Amino acid sequence: MERIKVLIIDDSTLICHVITEIISADSAFEVVGAAHDPYEAREMIKELKPDVLTLDIEMPKMDGITFLRNLMRLHPLPVIMLSTFTAKGTDETLTALAIGAIDYMPKPLTGAQGMAISDFAEELKEKIKAAASLKNKIVMRLPPAQRPQSPSILKSLNLESSIGQKIIAIGASTGGTEALQEVLSVLPKDIPPIVIAQHISASFSARLAKRIDEKSTISVIEATDGLTLEQGVAYFAPGGCHLKVERSGTILKCRVEDSALVNRHKPSVGVLFDSLIAANVETAIAVLLTGMGNDGAEAMLRLKREGAYTVAQDEESSLIWGMPGSAVKLGAVVDVLPLEKISQALVGRFKTQ
């Protein structure tokens, strides 16, 4: 099997050395070079023709965001961002994902918020393999103002205030930050409560919620333990914690737990979906968006068997058709839809006749 060619772009000699050692130890990969600034990287891309890039954000001569914009315009390639988990690093990483980066990783050796090297190594290799499979699918993402707009559905549903009886649960991973924005930003302000498990690190969830909130009619916030679920509000699971829905009489509330990984994730989509069954939600909708792996697929099947309406993003519009594809293969999905039609489908379930 042909090895995956990786080019590392980072101004830190230490980081380049660590990543080179990790990747080179696996026969599935070949490190073809390490560039210490974007200008050097540009020449190495032309000469070495890598399959995947790892890209630092803060570099001399040209920052990673500017380089990524130019790359996606002139020579689109799968890119995994390596970020320090500072406020600035978080915002710029989210910008990179919007521009066209496939995924992100925390830099190793970054203190308390960094990852253990063994965990970093396994996750990095998994993400590089997934990125390499997308080499012919990478295109520059248009700025939001130039993207085709979904039909306007920002109209009141005229729902009765039956808070606690209706709920939408959404799970996402790789590519999900942009997919979630597309779904949430066009929903009406009286849509039933929405709970979200996006595979994301602790320093990202609140900022991601804030970015989507600024572009939406509904309120989008990071969940906190004990919050009562309300119409017109979407609740993100905090990165590094599970989010569950729990019933208290006729009211549904958020339960945030810092417990063990489930399906190798925290937050886990499966944990969120299963909590809807335990809470005996009257009307439940479950949605699986783009992402690696199979988290949430089996729990979605259990929800479907309980009468829930279940939706999976289709393969063509998914960056990675892992999670939604797994649910489809299990027979857990009522409708398989392109991303741009999922919002309409959700609204259609609640529109008054």
- Active-site residue numbers? 173, 199, 295
- List CB contacts of 321: < 8 A, sequence separation 6 or more: 290, 313, 314, 315
Q: What's the full length of the chain, in residues?
A: 353
Token readout for 161 is 């205030």
**HSE on the CB side for 318, CA within 13 Å?**
23
Distance of CA 306 to the CA centre of its chain: 27
- List CB contacts of 210: < 8 A, sequence separation 6 or more: 220
Q: 266-286 as b/e, with b when 16 or more CB fall inside 10 Å? A: bbbbbbbbbbbbebebeebbb
The structure tokens 């009886």 sit at 165
Contact 20, 8 (CB under 8 A): yes
Contact 41, 9 (CB under 8 A): yes
- In degrees, rounded to 5, the angle at the alpha carbon of residue 55 between the alpha carbons of residues 54 and 59 is 150
Token readout for 84 is 């320090």
61: left (phi over 0), alpha (psi -120 to 50) or beta: left
Torsion, Cα of 173, 110, 41, 200 (10° steps): 10
Contact 296, 270 (CB under 8 A): yes
